[in-house]
Structure 1
């Protein structure tokens, strides 16, 4: 008992998400997914930064 109100609210939210028209900024989404305009770092520097954590027996 007591689940009726919670289920009704979940159903309302689900219907709202399903049928509401969304104004999606696809360019902003693409920038977020692709990391924006970050400057790529030097891969050698990245390896040097993590070399202390490497397993010495693995080489």
Structure 2
């Protein structure tokens, strides 16, 4: 594909994206932007078990450097 055809195709795609207006669900957008106000406890618990291991590893590495 030549440069002219490639540029024309990119321009066409860009124009379609610029002027395309999908049906927006404003209610869902409002809920997402408002936020839920709670933290994900499962994520915190999943990583908290490894915190001590990393702290000990860092301490051992840091002590070796002195």
Give the shorter-chain TM-score range: 0.5 to 0.7
1-side partners of 2:52 and 2:25: how far apart? 40
- Equivalent residues, number: 53
Question: Which has the larger share of helix?
Answer: 2
Q: Could you tell me which residue of structure 2 aligns to residue 6 of structure 1? A: 6
Name 1:21's counterpart in structure 2: 21
Structure 1 unpaired stretches of 5+: none
Q: Once the two structures are superposed, what CA deviation does each residue of 1:13-54 show, in whole Å capped at 9, x if it has no partner?
A: 1111111222123416928xx6x8xx72264x3322233223
Q: Which runs of 5+ in 2 are unaligned?
A: none
More contact order relative to length (CA 8 Å, sep ≥ 6): 1
Question: TM-score, with normalisation over the residues of structure 1?
Answer: 0.54
Moved over 4 A (4+): none
Higher radius of gyration, 1 or 2: 2
TM-score (norm 2): 0.50
